[in-house]
Amino acid sequence: MEVRRGDKFTLGLELPTDPRWADIAKEHTRGILVDHAYCEQKAASSCISLIVQHPDREKLVEVLAPIVAEEWSHFERVLQELKKRGYGLGPQRKDEYVEALIKLVRKGGSRDQQLVEKLLLNALIEARSCERFRVLWKQIDDPELSEFYYELMVSEAGHYKTFLHLAMEYMDKDSVLVRWHEWLAEEAEIMRGLEMRGDRIH
């Protein structure tokens, strides 16, 4: 997949979305919305799993509980956008991007190290989602959807920072940043190898 190289975004992503993706996405509004709905559902589920696995981490529970509610509200809002356009939810699609990222999670280590890996995984998914929402906000022809994706872009940027800051609660900042940059480099390689799909958020 060919991509235009440019300055890194403030999100830190090594590889920006290929500009051609927006053109393809415009032709697959239903597919994008269906995939997006499931992305929001999985984001809420991921936060719930972290809370269930780490109920003793008071800071984590306090910070992630509101994100669960917010992600679920996003899911409901995407359902509304589908309904407005006469579309149903449809079946969940395979998320090759997230599946590839999950393979990067390091096994073993301390409980804190395992938690940090999961927090960085979530931070990266939120960062890429935010970057994709930015593309849709700027490029999509539907003014209503454009505004919708602007709102979600801002929200996802906040979530990305939250996961990074949480990781620094359980491991020293320098170690987290070293690992984060490793994640960013590997994510860029994943992006290079993925087929460009207009009916997928990632």
Percentage of residues in the chain with pLDDT exceeding 90? 75
Taking the C-alpha atoms of residue 184 and residue 83, their distance in angstroms, rounded to an integer, is 36
- The string of pLDDT tens digits covering residues 157-181 is 889 999 999 999 999 999 999 999 9
- The 3 state secondary structure assigned to the chain is CCCCCCCCCCCCCCCCCCCHHHHHHHCCHHHHHHHHHHHHHHHHHHHHHHHHHCCCCHHHHHHHHHHHHHHHHHHHHHHHHHHHCCCCCCCCCCCHHHHHHHCCCCCCCCHHHHHHHHHHHHHHHHHHHHHHHHHHHHHCCCHHHHHHHHHHHHHHHHHHHHHHHHHHHHCCHHHHHHHHHHHHHHHHHHHHHCCCCCCCCC
pTM of the model: 0.91
Name the token pair of 5.
């190289």
Give the per-residue pLDDT at 157: 84
- By the 10 Å C-beta count (0-12 exposed, 13-18 middle, 19+ buried), 15 is classed as buried
Phi, psi (5° rounding) for residue 141? -80, -20
- The string of pLDDT tens digits covering residues 85-137 is 999 998 888 889 999 999 999 998 999 999 999 999 999 999 999 999 999 99
Confidence class for position 22, pLDDT limits 50, 70, 90: confident
pLDDT above 50 (res 6) = no
Q: Where are the domains of the chain?
A: 23-193
Give the per-residue pLDDT at 2: 27
User: Average model confidence (pLDDT) for the chain?
Assistant: 90
For the segment 33-62, the average pLDDT, to the nearest whole number, is: 96
Nearest to 81, CA basis, from 177, 152, 131: 152
Nearest to 199, CA basis, from 33, 55, 68: 33
pLDDT above 90 (res 45) = yes
CATH no., domain 23-193 = 1.20.1260.10
